[in-house]
Amino acid sequence: MSRKIVFLLVLCLALLPSVQVLAGAVQEKPGSVCWPMNFAGIVLGVTNDSQVKRLLGPGRFYSKEGDTGGRYFVDKDRRATLHVVMYTDGVVGELTVSQGIDPALKGGGQGTPESLLFDPSESFGNWHALHLGSSKAEVLKNLGVPETKNNDDEWVYSTSCACEIPQHFTLFFRSERIFKIVFSAPAG
C-alpha cells in the first residue's frame, strides 16, 4: 500500500510542471504565452471580416490594407482606436489597440466610426491582468521577460499554442505604460 502511495506521489510530482504549463501558471519558454490572441471578441486567425462587422459594426473600411482590407473603430468616449486588418479569405491577421484616435481617421469627412462594443479597458494577459495603461512592472510580473525587446519601449511576446501560424503580440510603451498593443498572426 505504501509503495503505491509513494509511486503516485512521485508520478504527481513528475507531471506537475506539465499541468502548470497547460494551466498557464508556468510559461513554456521565456517570452511566450499560451492563450489565443484576441480582443473585443475578435480572435486572430479565426474571426473573419463578416463576423467583425456583426460584432462591432461597419467601422471605417480601407480596401488597401492587408490582403482584403482593414477596419477602424473608436470607443464611444473617443479615447482609443481598434484597427483590424484582414488577410487571406478575409480572416483577421492583425489587431491594434491604441490610445487616442488613429491619424488615419482624421479628416476624410466620413465621421468617426464609433462602436459601442469596443471597450479599450478590456484586459488581456495571464488571468486578464493587463490593459492599456499597465506599467512595465505589471507586464513583467504578469508575462515575464519578453521574447524580444526591439527597444526599451517595444516588447514582443509569442504564443506557444498557435496551431499553424506563429502568432505574437507587441507592447508599445510611452512613459513606462502601455499605449499600444499589436496582436499579429502574419499572413501565410
pLDDT band for 160, please (50, 70, 90 cuts). confident
Question: Residue 6 — very low, low, confident or very high, per pLDDT cuts 50/70/90?
Answer: very low
pLDDT band at residue 31 using 50, 70 and 90 as cut-offs: confident
| pTM for the full predicted model | 0.82
Distance of alpha carbon 150 from alpha carbon 85, whole angstroms: 22
Mean pLDDT across 97-107: 89
Domain boundaries, the chain: 24-184
Note the pLDDT of residue 188: 58
Q: Looking at the predicted structure, is the pLDDT value of residue 75 above 80? A: yes
Round to whole Å and give the CA distance between 137 and 144: 10
Residue with more model confidence, 12 or 37: 37
Dihedral pair phi/psi, residue 54, rounded to 5° = -70, -35
pLDDT value at position 85? 97
Number of Cβ atoms within 10 Å of the Cβ of 161: 15
Q: What would the grid cell of residue 13 be?
A: 510530482
How far apart CA 87 and CA 69 sit, in angstroms, is 7
Q: Which residue has the higher pLDDT, 24 or 179?
A: 179
- The whole-number pLDDT of residue 4 equals 55
Residue 104: the pLDDT is 85
